[in-house]
């Protein structure tokens, strides 16, 4: 089945360009478009959407709040923030709201197509510059929450900790399933419970929590920064 995508941008030309780009990939189908956040939530409610490409600056409802609302839907789509503005606040706020990817609009078009496939497969992808700054931010600030992160990680079952370690390495659900000898649906269930237990909204933040708890090495970006 093709990956059902939604393009959300207040610029009609950008929506058209992204729609035309996605149409070049036979594994992707554009099922909805929206000019602002309110339209995006309505479209995601009316159509089953697997992945949404989301602008940040939009009228009526911006991309950050839209991501948060989409994540609360019964069938929440995965979200890739796609913006012109390379600002730290957008990176952090997007991930905190639940985005699974962050790219700048000046990336190679092929990278956007790859991001859709990567995120749809259950992994995460960040623009290299954004990922580097995100890591630097966590490396050069005090970690008063480390004890809290350790306590939350300790609540996980041994199997969930194994899944979390692989997730932190950037492995997709399919890759985790293959390495741990379980079904992909079981991996999805584990990931869902891990996010809930850690109190985070996406895989990137789960990986950072694992790093802060000492469960993984210092840099959880070996594959996400590709």
Show me where the domains of the chain are located: 3-120, 143-212
- Strands 125-126 and 28-34, how do they pair? unpaired
CA-to-CA distance for 13 and 26, rounded, in angstroms? 22
pLDDT at 202: 76
Written as tens digits, the pLDDT of the chain (226 aa) is 899 999 999 999 999 999 999 999 999 999 999 999 999 999 999 999 999 999 988 888 888 899 989 988 988 999 998 887 655 567 777 777 888 888 888 888 999 999 999 899 887 777 655 555 555 555 445 454 456 667 888 888 989 989 988 888 778 888 888 999 999 889 988 988 888 888 877 777 788 778 777 776 544 444 444 4
CB 15 within 8 A of CB 61: no
CB 169 within 8 A of CB 222: yes
Which architecture, in CATH terms, is 143-212? Orthogonal Bundle (1.10)
What is the DSSP track for 42-91?
A: HHHHHS--SEEEE-SS-SSS-HHHHHHHHHTSTTPPEEEEEES---HHHH
* Token output for 57: 């600056």
pLDDT at 217: 57
CA-to-CA distance for 44 and 37, rounded, in angstroms? 10
Burial letters 61-99, b for 16+ CB under 10 A, else e: bbbbbbbbbbbeeeeebbbbbbbeeeeeebbbbbbbbbb
pTM for this model (two decimals): 0.66
207 phi and psi, to 5 degrees? -65, -40
17 phi and psi, to 5 degrees? -65, -45
Angle, in degrees to the nearest 10, between helices 203-212 and 184-198:
60
Task: Tell me yes or no: is domain 3-120 CATH 3.40.718.10.
Answer: no
């Amino acid at each position: 089945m093709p990956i059902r995508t939604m393009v959300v941008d207040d610029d009609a030309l950008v929506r058209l360009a992204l729609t035309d780009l996605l149409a070049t990939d036979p594994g992707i189908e554009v099922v909805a478009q929206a000019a602002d956040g309110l339209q995006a939530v309505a479209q995601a409610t009316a159509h089953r959407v697997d992945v949404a490409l989301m602008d940040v600056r939009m009228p009526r409802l911006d991309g950050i709040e839209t991501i948060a609302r989409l994540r609360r839907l019964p069938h929440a789509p995965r979200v890739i923030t796609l913006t012109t503005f390379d600002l730290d606040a957008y990176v952090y706020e997007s991930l905190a709201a639940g985005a699974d990817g962050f790219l700048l609009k000046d990336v190679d078009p092929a990278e956007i197509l790859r991001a859709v496939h990567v995120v749809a497969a259950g992994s995460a992808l960040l623009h290299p510059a954004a990922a580097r700054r995100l890591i630097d931010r966590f490396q050069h600030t005090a970690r008063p929450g480390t004890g809290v992160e350790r306590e939350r990680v300790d609540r996980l079952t041994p199997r969930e900790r194994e899944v979390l370690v692989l997730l932190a390495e950037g492995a997709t659900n399919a890759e985790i399933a293959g390495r741990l000898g379980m079904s992909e649906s079981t991996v999805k269930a584990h990931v869902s419970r891990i996010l809930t237990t850690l109190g985070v909204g996406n895989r990137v933040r789960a990986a950072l929590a694992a790093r802060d708890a000492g469960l993984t090495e210092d840099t959880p970006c070996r594959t996400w920064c590709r």
